[in-house]
Amino acid sequence: MGAFLKVLFASWSVNSQIITLPNFLRHGDHEPALELMNKCTFVTAEDFETAWERVEEAFPKQFRGDEPDMTTGELLQLTLDQHEAWVGHRPSFFEQAGYAISYVLVPKRYWCNRLLFFEHLRDNRSWHFHLCMKLYYAFMALAVILFCWGLFYTTSHYLLFQFKDLMPDALRRMPPPHEAPKVYGQASRLIPKIAKTMKKLDRFF
C-alpha cells in the first residue's frame, strides 16, 4: 500500500503536462518556434512572484470594490506589466523588513496557489484547471482512504493470527478493501435511514 501511494504521488505530476522548450523546438517547424521564443519575455521565478504580489495588492485598489473577471492571458499581462514597471528596482532595508514582518505576522498561502485560484480569474482554462483539481482531490482522498483501510485490515488480521485469544471478535467482521463496492452499497442504503432517524430525534428533543 505504501509503495502504491509513493508511486502514485511521484508519477502524477503536472510536469508531464508541460511542453518544455526542447520538446517544443524538436517537434514541428523550427522557424515559428524560434519566432515565438523571440517574442517571449523571460522572467525569473523570484521576479514573477514579486510582480504577482504587486498585482494582487493593487487589484482591489485600482478597481475600488468593482473588480472585473479576467482571463488567464489578461491576468498574466498585468503581472508582466508590473514586472516591466519595476524592473531593476532594488528594495530598501525598510521594505525588506516590512516584507519579513508581514510574512511572519500575516502569513499567506503559497503564491502559486493564490494565482491559480484567484477569485476573479474566470475563463475556460481556469475552469478546466479547477475541475481537474477537484477530480484529483477526490481521487487522492479515495486512494488514501483505501490505503488506511487496507493497512488497518492487514494489521488487525495479523494481530488476530498472532494473538487470536486477546483480540476482540469485532475485528473478524471487518470487510476487506476489495469488498469496497459492497460496503458502499450497504452504506448508501443505511445513510438515508440514519438521516431520517436523526431528524426524528431532533424533533423529539
pLDDT tens, N- to C-terminus, the chain (205 residues): 566 667 666 666 666 666 666 777 776 667 777 787 788 888 888 889 889 988 988 887 777 767 788 899 999 998 999 888 888 777 777 777 777 777 777 778 888 899 999 988 999 989 998 998 898 889 888 888 888 888 888 888 888 878 877 777 777 777 888 787 787 777 777 777 766 766 665 554 4
Is residue 149 left, alpha or beta, with left meaning phi > 0 and alpha meaning psi from -120 to 50? alpha
Cell of 140: 487522492
- Measured between alpha carbons, how far is 131 from 51 in angstroms, rounded to an integer? 27
pTM over 0.85: no
96 contacts 50 by C-beta, under 8 angstroms: no
Residue 17: predicted pLDDT? 62
Residue 71: predicted pLDDT? 92
Residue 201: predicted pLDDT? 56
Residue 180: predicted pLDDT? 77
- 117 contact partners, CB below 8 Å, separation of at least 6: 130
- Measured between alpha carbons, how far is 8 from 139 in angstroms, rounded to an integer? 11
- Measured between alpha carbons, how far is 56 from 78 in angstroms, rounded to an integer? 10
Burial 132-141 (b: 16+ CB within 10 A, else e): eeeeeeeeee
DSSP 8-state secondary structure symbol assigned to residue 120: T
- Measured between alpha carbons, how far is 43 from 115 in angstroms, rounded to an integer? 16
Residue 85: predicted pLDDT? 87
Residue 108: predicted pLDDT? 82
- 47 contact partners, CB below 8 Å, separation of at least 6: 83, 87
Cell of 76: 498574466
Residue 200: predicted pLDDT? 65
72 contacts 125 by C-beta, under 8 angstroms: yes
